[in-house]
Structure 1
Amino acid sequence: MEYKKIEVLLTEKGVTAYRMCKDLGLHTSSVTAWRKGDYKPSITTLKKIADYFGVTVDYFL
């Protein structure tokens, strides 16, 4: 999973990464780590993000 796919969704929906984190109860430091490629979100987190943006988890895989 590349963070770029999340960035595309953020841009398309006009949502900031900060707003997404606050809405989903995620740490903003997690998004920074995903962006840097330090680690990837868990399947549970991917499900939350997918539901938030109205896409399937497969979109990220």
Structure 2
Amino acid sequence: MLSEKLKELRTQKKINQTQLANLLNVSPKTISAWELGNREPSITMINKISDIFNVQVGYLISEKNNAPKWATKNDVIELDKFLTSNGAMTFEGVQLTKSQKERVKKILTEVFWEELKKDRDNGVR
């Protein structure tokens, strides 16, 4: 749920509601209402929030989580950062189509979870 994700991201970044409100040019009461689930931010605000926390909009608004049961919330955030950092998705200078990007993201997601699981099983992370 967006309200929970927003509060979690804000807490992880160690900023309070007033600081986030200043970054978004809204009131602290607005941030509180979003985090309590009493109001929803506009798509413009969701885009700004995704930029501030360096996560994809899809992560913020997605109700489902395809992560393995053993994955933590931090793991999901790291996956989102991993996918975002590989976001250019070009081949020989040509932008991939939406369908191709989705296939690449699916493969990257599978690789991410496989490697993280191996690391955990080997006591690395």
TM-score range, shorter chain: 0.7 to 0.9
Shift of 1:2: 2.9
SS for the counterpart of 2:55 is: coil
Distance of 1:38 and 1:8 partners within structure 2: 17
Unaligned runs of 5+ in 2: 62-125
Q: 2:57: which partner in 1?
A: 57
Q: 1:27: which partner in 2?
A: 27
Shift of 1:38: 2.2
Which whole-Å deviations, capped at 9, do the CAs of 1:17-44 have from their partners, x for residues lacking one? 1101112211212112223322211110
Unaligned runs of 5+ in 1: none
For residues 1-61 of structure 1, what are the structure 2 equivalents within 5 Å?
A: 1-61=1-61
Scaled by the length of structure 1, what TM-score is found? 0.83
Percent of aligned pairs with the same residue? 33
Structure of higher CA gyration radius: 2
Scaled by the length of structure 2, what TM-score is found? 0.45
SS for the counterpart of 1:32 is: helix
Instruction: Decide whether the 8 Å contact of 2:2 with 2:60 is kept in 1.
Output: yes
Distance of 1:27 and 1:55 partners within structure 2: 22
Q: 1:2 corresponds to which letter in structure 2?
A: L
Following TM superposition, the consecutive aligned residue runs of length 4 or more in structure 1 with deviations greater than 6 angstroms are: none
Over the aligned positions, Cα root-mean-square deviation in angstroms equals: 1.3
Q: 2:4 corresponds to which letter in structure 1?
A: K
Q: 1:22 corresponds to which letter in structure 2?
A: N
SS for the counterpart of 1:14 is: coil
Tell which has more relative contact order, 1 or 2 (C-alpha 8 A, sep 6+). Answer: 1
The structure whose residues are more often helix, as a share, is 1
**Number of corresponding residues:** 61
